[in-house]
Amino acid sequence: MLRIPDRLIGDAWFFPGREVVHAYFLTCDASLPRHEHWSIGHAVSGDLVRWNDLGICLRGGGPGSWDHNLATGSVLRHGGRYWMAYTGHTAQRVGVAVSDDLHRWERIGSGPVSGIDTRFYEPVGSGSRRVPHWRDPFLFAWEGWVYAAVCASRNGGPPDRRGTLGLSRSRDLRTWIVLPPPEVEAVGQELECPQVVERGGRWHLLFSSAPSFFPAAHLARHPAVAAGPNLYAMAAPTPLGPFRMLRKNPVLPPGAPYACQLVRWRGRDVLLGTHPEQGGDGGSISDPIAVVADAEGIRPS
């Protein structure tokens, strides 16, 4: 478990290297308001329990910049380099930074590489949070393209079920094309921190959500969903859909860490997420949760 004295910890994302797993996470001084001053921290671990905090690896831009406050992202190795997609929190746009060693990161350009295309996505969410939704980019490669999957809101449909997977793609990770959303089962308002991974010959869409993001009728039929924030899973034959909810949802029992990611390390699959701050605790990256990830879905082992 990773805790840092006098600092808050938010969402985290992970990249398994040769000897260690790299964790990147939102962090700021504990004296500052949460969600308003995030930078991206960096830590490494060989066992996913004991972490070596390496400090800040990417700070927010200057005052007035589109990414002065950062939010969730992901890392992909492509073309012999490492690429990090991240969110400009207030602007709800996506930026990209590049690294040769996973430690030192350089922004690509001075602005975002993608944002909401109102042909496909609504500019402001129609659910309980009336804000733009274009965040938490997850990078994955497929058939010669690199895709970024984000938390987005579709342009139409019942307001309490517009949460979807926003898509953009690129050949070089510098110039991006925003695409229409894939076919994703309409279940709620926000599919936060999405992750698209292949296991057992099927593609799984993992996302995090809170009870307030689901329709009342859904909560009534599924009491476990009402128990608190959790991780959910859909599956599809391709990474571009069509995605359908799996029977075994939510994935974890109540009280689980939020914004979990599936990480394969030393031949096994685990989930790592974030425990929010409580009292004087500034939050933490969880210990690994062993899971089985196969054609049937994602479930604790």
- Per-run averaged pLDDT (10 residues), the chain, 301 residues: 94 97 97 91 98 98 93 98 96 97 97 98 95 98 98 96 98 98 97 97 96 92 91 97 93 95 97 82 92 88 90
Quick one: pLDDT at residue 221? Answer: 85
Quick one: pLDDT at residue 296? Answer: 78
The per-residue pLDDT for range 67-100, each reduced to its tens digit, is: 999 999 999 999 999 999 999 988 899 999 999 9
Quick one: pLDDT at residue 279? Answer: 59
DSSP track, the chain: -B--TTEEEEEEEEEE-SSSEEEEEEEEETTSPTTTS-EEEEEEESSSSS-EEEEEEE---STTSTTSSEEEEEEEEETTEEEEEEEETTTTEEEEEEESSSSS-EESSSS-SB---TTTB-SS--SSS-S--EEEEEEEEETTEEEEEEEEEBSSS-GGG-EEEEEEEESSSSS-EEEPPP-B----S--EEEEEEEETTEEEEEEEE-GGGS-HHHHHH-GGGGGS-EEEEEEESSTT--BEE-SS-SSS-TTPPEEEEEEEETTEEEEEEEEPPBTTB--EEPPPEEEEEETTEEEE-
Quick one: pLDDT at residue 15? Answer: 99
Quick one: pLDDT at residue 281? Answer: 65
In the block, tokens 């910049």 appear at 65
Domains of the chain, by residue range, sit at 7-300
Amino acid at 206: L
Quick one: pLDDT at residue 75? Answer: 99
Q: Which residues pair with 202 in a beta bridge?
A: 199
User: For 272-281, which contacts have Cβ atoms below 8 Å and span 24 or more sequence positions?
Assistant: 272/12, 272/14, 272/23, 272/48, 273/12, 273/208, 273/231, 274/9, 274/10, 274/11, 274/12, 274/25, 277/8, 277/9, 277/34, 281/3
Model-level pTM? 0.97
Quick one: pLDDT at residue 276? Answer: 83
Q: Is 3.20.20.70 the CATH classification of the domain at 7-300?
A: no
DSSP track, 76-115: EEETTEEEEEEEETTTTEEEEEEESSSSS-EESSSS-SB-
